[in-house]
Structures are given as structure tokens and as C-alpha cells.
Structure 1
């Protein structure tokens, strides 16, 4: 019984599948983070990997029974001879990828972030990172991007992986970020962990003349009262919040940090060092061990002390199950909650 069958057994309907009609659509079980009127792009990871595979025959796709739920099924349809379904065996998945990397391949591995960080940490550390192998671990459901509950909510994945030597960590914002990050991490000579948005992914960064560069943070807009340093889809929220604050005559700058490790220290220090601005770090991750603590440590170590420093992050707790909009409001990472908190902090 695979995961889809088990979900159906639990009373959750599985999406109908017709293998004779491959489409760029995803299951109805995959909730989108996009608002009602927001532009989206379907399966940007899968489509970008297909394009990469056309010019790089060494690129492979591997998954542990989750091709459809990580958008890797699109690569499997386009390049079936380079796709490997490993079944519900995540530890085997990582070591198989390591073996293929030893033979000169560039494996892209997909699963859920909770499974990669909790179940396979030692296998990634000893089999992939210590060997410096070019395995790209791309994981869906990072942070609070599912209402399934604590078993699937990887709210501590960045904290777990930040301590692993030589592992690059990428947290893209939207469809454009993902599409551009795929070839960039493939070109990187080493292991990468990328937090993955799936299904119909919001598209926002094309409005800001943005281009992904591994290891580089990018200022998307400027403002004099508050600097929001963000990663992942929280950059999308930060941009929305900045527009709301602008309507109240509060200038908010947004610095997008798609690479959490290694951190773009020079850019962060330059932005945070501008006098008079409160610094807010916004992340789809626990308040423990993520981007917020990384930025705070950097500022303290470098002697750059902003007037006020605050975090918008998930609590150090096992979170509830439920509808994503409700959960995002409850835990303070919706645009409405974030705007209210920043106004309160500004006094």
C-alpha cells in the first residue's frame, strides 16, 4: 500500500490518475499558498528539472514514493530512463543517490522535508555531505506549508541541517526563484538541501527584476523605518506587508535571503547597518535555529546592533493541524498578523 492508497484508506480522497494523459497538474491534496487573485505557475521544480535534463544527461531524479507530491513526476514522464522510484525507504533513497553521485551522476532527490531531516540525517551526513557529493535534496512541505499536522510539518528542518558541514541550504520564495535555483544548485559542486514549494506556486519576484544567485541576498525594495529580512514564501508575505505599511506611511525594505547557508553576510550587514531601522527577520520555520538566529548571531558578532530586532517565525512547539490560512493567522505568519505585529513593535 503506497502513501496515496493509505490516505484514501483514511478517508482522504486521492486524485484520479490517467497515465496516458500526462499533465502539468498536481493533486487536489496539494494546497496552494497563493491568494485568490494571485498569479501562479504550475510545478516549477518539475518543469525546470525537465529543461535541465535535456542538456545534462547526468541529471537523475529519485524519490521515495512521492514523485507526484514533489512534482518529480513531470521529470519521470520526460526522462523515464533517468527516474528511480525507491519506494517508502528514505534512508535507502539517500544512499542510492550517494552511490550514483560517486559514479558521476547528479541526482536530484525528492521527499518531504520532515522525512529527510528526521529520518535520514545520519545517512545524508555520512553518505553525502562528508563525501562532498553533488546530491541535490529537494523537499516539499517545509515549515508550515501543510495542514497535516506535526508528522508532516518540518518546522525544524533548517535548524537540523544548518549544523551539517558543507551542506548548502536554499529556501526559494516563488516559482521564478525555484526555476532559476534548479540549474544553479545543479552547477554547485557539493550537496544542497532545498526547501521546495509544489503544485501551483505563486509568482511574485518577476515584478522586482530578480535573478537567483546561489549565496546572494537581494534587496527587493527599500524603506526607512523597518528592514524585513526574509526567506522562502515569507518574502512573498514581506512584500505584501511592505505595501500595507506603505499605505500607513511606514517605509519597509525587504531583503530576500534565498540561501540560508552560506549566509550572504556582507549584504545583510550593509542593510542592517543603516541607522534608525528596526530589523525584522521573517521565516517559515521555528524561532529556534533558523534564519532569525543566524542573522542575530551575525549582527552581534559583527557589532552591528539595530535599534530593535524582532522575529516573525513559528513557535517552538508541535503545531496544530487544519486549514493553512487559519494556521498562518494563528501562528503569526499571515500578512495580516505580520503587519499588525510590525506596527505594534514600531509603537
Structure 2
């Protein structure tokens, strides 16, 4: 059976940079607001090729989001772009009070999310952003699995009227979706059918979940993979349906196990369809700087750790 993972790999930030440049040229309302990280987040193309639409705020994230709030009140659509760690923690008060509460049309892009941030270390890694943003009323929270989904989510966010947070990864990931893929807000995507267990994944962990599921198939386990591109609003019906079909759930995210996808899924299951489940994510630990594979193994979020969790939870059926 052919793998669901393409040999082709692309970086989310490269596709984001290309797409936001195009949007800034096509729509007079779109402005790109930078926190002095344009080269890393790949929005420097806007600065070079459409400079009138590029606003440099410097290393001043709180002011940056306040500016975005002001722009939105005039009918413009600002896209605030910086690292997820800075966006979700340094500027959270401004985001809540000046953007989320008044339900303003600001798109917030958290680059370099999760563990794999190019040896930047614990100050630049973000394992709390999903948990923080999904607690805010009026907020939409997105985590794409590949570059194709990044572009589709951007098309949605461009047309949507309200605050959106989208987390992006730094490094290349396998292309999962074809160009005709249609992203739908609040809808999970069934990537693989199975009868023994369901892995519910989001963002970068979806490709690792597919890898784990395909390896487990060779051992005789029938593993479903359900990709959750939208953490808020959450596709509760898909979660309940998966629990009814397979009877056990594993969640997978490159994020803390507290407050993220795993917590969101557990909340649904405990109220609607209690079944055994395990959460694959970073446990109660601070992060550190290291090569990618070492981080994935040490923090127990690799494909092998997802497979291990699947084997453990199946025993509880």
C-alpha cells in the first residue's frame, strides 16, 4: 500500500511568505505587520516587493498587536507575524483586550511553533500557544499539517471576519494534501480509516501520526488517523464518531499535553463518549535546544512514541 506521505517536502513559512505577498498585492486592505523577524518568517518578500504594505514594529510585540487593533478598526486587515512564543505570551493582554474581546479582524501568525525551532532554545520554543489562544472568546485557532493547508487556511482567514490564530512550523514537512483540497473551518479530515484505534492529530504531528499508523498496520493493527486542522471551533461530532467506531483514542500534538488538542478532545469525550485515551505531547517539562530528532525522542513526541501510545491504549479496550 502506498504511503499517504509524499516524498515531496515543503516549508510552511515559505508558502506563507509567497501567499501573503500575493494577498497584499491583490487586496488593498491587507497589511503585513512584522516583529523584526521578517527573514525568519519569510515575510521579507513583502518588505522588498510591496513595501507600502509592510509595517515594521521592531521587537515590541505588545505595541505591534495594539497597532493591529487600530488598523482593524479602520476597516483594514492586518496580519501580525512573529514567533509563536512571543505572540502568545508577550502580547496576550493586548490580544485579549484589544482584539479578541471586540472581535476584530486581525490574523495572527505564530511562526516557529513547537519544539523544532532551529536550535533557538527554550526562549523561542512555544508549547503553550494553542492552550492560550483557545481560551479566548471569539478566537479561531488553526494548526495546518502541511504547506497546502497553510495556503488554504490563509484563503479562509482572508475572507473571514474575526480574530484568527494560526501556528506554523519552521522546517520542511511532507506534503499530505493535493492542490484541490478544501479546508473547512471546524471540520476534521479523515486521512486513514481503521477499526482498532483512532489517532487524532493536529499540525506537524499529523505526518508523524500517519507514519506511526502505517508502521502499526504492518504489525496487524488497524489504525485510523483523524487530522484536526481547527482546534477551535472543534469538530466534536468527528471525535464522538471516532470513539464510537474504534473505542480508543490517542491524541498527538507538538505542544504541551496541558490545554492543547489532547485536553480539548478529552473534554469532549468525558462529556459525550467516555473511552480510554492517551495524549502524546510534551509533558510537564521546560524545553531545551537540540537537533530535531533528539528533541522528538527526548520529549516523547516522535512517530515511535505515537505508535507506543497506540499499543498501550489498545490494551484498555
- TM normalised by structure 2 equals 0.92
**Does the 8 Å CA contact 2:191/2:225 hold for their aligned counterparts?**
yes
CA distance 1:78–1:268, shift in 2 (3 Å): farther
Indicate which of 292, 296, 307 corresponds to 2:262.
292
Give the Å deviation of 1:340: 2.9
Other structure's SS at 1:169 match: strand
TM-score (norm 1): 0.84
Q: Is the 8 A contact 2:188 2:227 kept in 1?
A: yes
Q: Distance in 2 between matches of 1:201 and 1:90?
A: 28
- Find the aligned partners of 1:77 and 1:201 in 2 and give their Cα distance: 27
- Secondary structure of 1:108's match? strand
Counterparts of 1:204 and 1:337 in 2: how far apart (Å)?
A: 21
Match of 1:250 in 2: 221
Show CA shifts across 1:293-322 (max 9, x none): 1111111112x122x211111112112221
Which 5+ residue runs of structure 1 have no aligned equivalent?
Answer: 1-36
Q: Which of 154, 164, 188 is the matching residue for 2:136?
A: 164
Rounded Cα–Cα distance in structure 1 between residues aligned with 2:172 and 2:253: 21
> 1:230-265 deviations in whole A, cap 9, x for unaligned?
100101111111111111121111111111011111
Q: How does 1:38-49 map to 2 (within 5 A)?
A: 38-42=7-11, 43-49=14-20
1:325 aligned onto 2:287:
no
**1:199 Cα deviation after fit:** 5.6
Summarize the alignment of residues 100-115 of structure 1 with structure 2, pairs less than 5 Å apart: 100-115=71-86
The aligned runs of 1:24-103 (5 Å cut-off) are 38-42=7-11, 43-103=14-74
Question: CA RMSD of the aligned region, Å?
Answer: 1.7
Task: Give the drift of 1:200.
Answer: 3.9
The residue that corresponds to 2:274 in the other structure is: 305
Q: 1:188 matched to which residue of 2?
A: 160
Q: Matched residues in 2 for 1:346 and 1:334: separation?
A: 19
Q: Secondary structure at the match of 1:216?
A: coil
1:213 pairs with 184, 187, 190, which one? 184
The secondary structure found in structure 2 opposite 1:260 is strand
Corresponding residue to 1:229 among 196, 200, 206: 200
Q: CA contact under 8 A between 1:240 and 1:335: conserved in structure 2?
A: yes
1:343 aligns with 2:311: yes
Equivalent position SS for 2:250: strand
* 8 Å Cα contact 2:109/2:167 also seen in 1: yes
Change (3 A) 1:332 1:199: closer
Question: Which residue among 81, 85, 108 is the counterpart of 1:137?
Answer: 108
Q: CA 1:215/1:245 → structure 2, altered by over 3 Å: closer, same or farther?
A: same
Contact 1:45–1:198 under 8 Å retained in 2: no
SS for the counterpart of 2:78 is: strand
Deviation of 1:98 (Å): 0.8
In structure 1, the residue matched to 2:3 is: none
Q: CA deviation at 1:216?
A: 1.2
Q: Residue 281 of structure 1: SS of its match in structure 2?
A: strand
